[in-house]
Amino acid sequence: MRAPLKRYYLKSIVPGLLCVGLTVAAYLMAPSMPSQAAKAGLAVLPLAPLAWIFWLYFRYLGECDELERKIEMDAMALSSMTGLLAGYSLLLLHDFRVLGLDAREMLSVLVLVIGLVYIVTRYIGIWRYRA
């Protein structure tokens, strides 16, 4: 594992755990919240550590050499394009009543597709350009 990637993973542990903890706390506290505004604030709270992870990722990209950056950018581009196509396809399949998925299930499928395409593309890039 390259040094910048190792540093990124180590620095992401605290915000990752914080995001998981805040998400669990939000699920536990939301039913007892009286107002919709408080529930909305509670729902957005786990996004702060996620934004911290994204900021760390952009710093990691700055530390990478050109080849590592190319592999990461290719993986991000392909996963976002696939996510757009998959999202549009799921929307049409839902509208035409081909799929009986609700919105939560469709979002889960979409996030899974984006994540898997990113991981597969990244490791194909690493394999392709290995020394």
DSSP letters for 93-111: HHHTTS----HHHHHHHHH
Is 37 in the same domain as 80?
no
In three-state secondary structure terms, 86 is helix
- Residue 1 pLDDT: 67
Distance CA 131, CA 129 (A): 6
Is 51 in the same domain as 70?
no
| 49-102 per-position pLDDT tens digit | 999 999 999 999 999 999 999 999 999 999 999 999 999 999 999 989 898 888
Is 22 in the same domain as 69?
no
Burial class (CB in 10 A: 0-12, 13-18, 19+), 12: middle
Is 70 in the same domain as 57?
no
Distance CA 2, CA 72 (A): 13
Q: Does 131 have pLDDT greater than 80?
A: no
Is 17 in the same domain as 33?
yes
Contact assessment for residue 52 and residue 17, using Cβ atoms and an 8 Å cutoff: no
Is 71 in the same domain as 123?
yes
Is 60 in the same domain as 81?
no
When pLDDT is cut at 50, 70 and 90, the band that residue 33 belongs to is confident
- Residue 66 pLDDT: 94
Is 2 in the same domain as 50?
yes
Is 44 in the same domain as 71?
no
Is 59 in the same domain as 19?
yes
- Domain span including residue 24: 1-64
Is 51 in the same domain as 71?
no
Structural domains of the chain, count: 2
